[in-house]
Amino acid sequence: MEILLFDMDGVLVKPIAYHRALQETVRLAGISTGFGEVQLADDQIAEFEALGISSEWHSSALCMAAMVLKLQGGMAVEDGKILNLEDLFDAIAAQPIHDSAVQRGQAAIDQLAARYDIAADFVNGLVTDSESIQFSSTLNWFQELILGSENYRRIYQKKSRFQTESYLKLYDERQLNKQCADQVLRWAEAPGHGAAIMTNRPSRGPSDFSGMPDAEMGSSLVGMASLPIVGKGELLWLVECTGLEIENCSKPSWRHAMAAILVASGWLVEDSLKFVGDPQFERRTTMLNYLHNSQITVFEDTPSGLIAAQETCELLSRMGLQLTIQKIGVAEGAAKRTALSALGAEVYPDINQALASLDYFRAIPGD
pLDDT at residue 58 in the model:
97
Domain boundary (147, 169, 191) is at 169
Strand partners, 326: 297
Which of 134, 169, 204 is the last residue before a domain boundary?
Answer: 169
Same domain, 155 and 223: no
Note whether residue 207 is domain-resident.
yes
Q: Quick one: 163 and 283 in the same domain?
A: no
196 and 106 in one domain? no
Q: Is residue 367 part of a domain?
A: no
**Per-residue pLDDT at 312:** 96
Residue 353 neighbours by CB under 8 Å, 6+ apart? none
Q: Are residues 150 and 241 in the same domain?
A: no
Residue 268 belongs to a domain: yes
Rounded to whole angstroms, what are the CA distances from 70 to 29, 59, 63, 119, 202? Answer: 13, 16, 11, 12, 31
How far is the C-alpha of 281 from the C-alpha of 274, rounded, in Å? 9
Residue 365 has a pLDDT of 46
Q: Do residue 116 and residue 191 come from a single domain?
A: no
Residue 244: count of CB within 10 angstroms of its CB: 17
CB 138 within 8 A of CB 61: yes
Identity (one letter) of the amino acid at 223? G
Domain finish residue from 135, 169, 203:
169
- Residues of the chain falling short of pLDDT 70: 363-367
In a domain, 162, yes or no: yes
Looking at the structure, do residues 87 and 45 belong to the same domain, yes or no?
yes
Q: Residue 367's pLDDT is what?
A: 41
Q: How far apart are CA 324 and CA 342, in angstroms?
A: 18
Same structural domain, 184 and 281:
yes
Distance of alpha carbon 247 from alpha carbon 130, whole angstroms: 12
* Contacts of residue 298, Cβ cutoff 8 Å, sequence gap at least 6: 5, 7, 198, 257, 305, 306, 309, 325, 326, 327, 328
Are 337 and 240 found together in one domain?
Answer: yes
CA distances from 27 to 20, 71, 149, 238 (A): 11, 16, 18, 34
Residues 66 and 96 in one domain: yes
Domain tally, the chain: 2
Query: Do 162 and 191 share a domain, yes or no?
Result: no
**CA 296 to CA 293: how far, in whole Å?**
10
Whether residue 165 lies inside any domain: the answer is yes
Contact 133, 156 (CB under 8 A): yes
Residue 192: give the domain boundaries.
2-12+173-362
Is 357 found in the same domain as 245? yes
152 in a structural domain: yes
Taking the CB of residue 26, how many other CB atoms lie within 10 A of it? 28
Half-sphere exposure of residue 59, counting CA atoms within 13 Å on the CB side?
29
91 lies in some domain: yes
Pair 198, 335 in one domain: yes
Numbers of helices and strands, H then E, in the chain: 18, 8
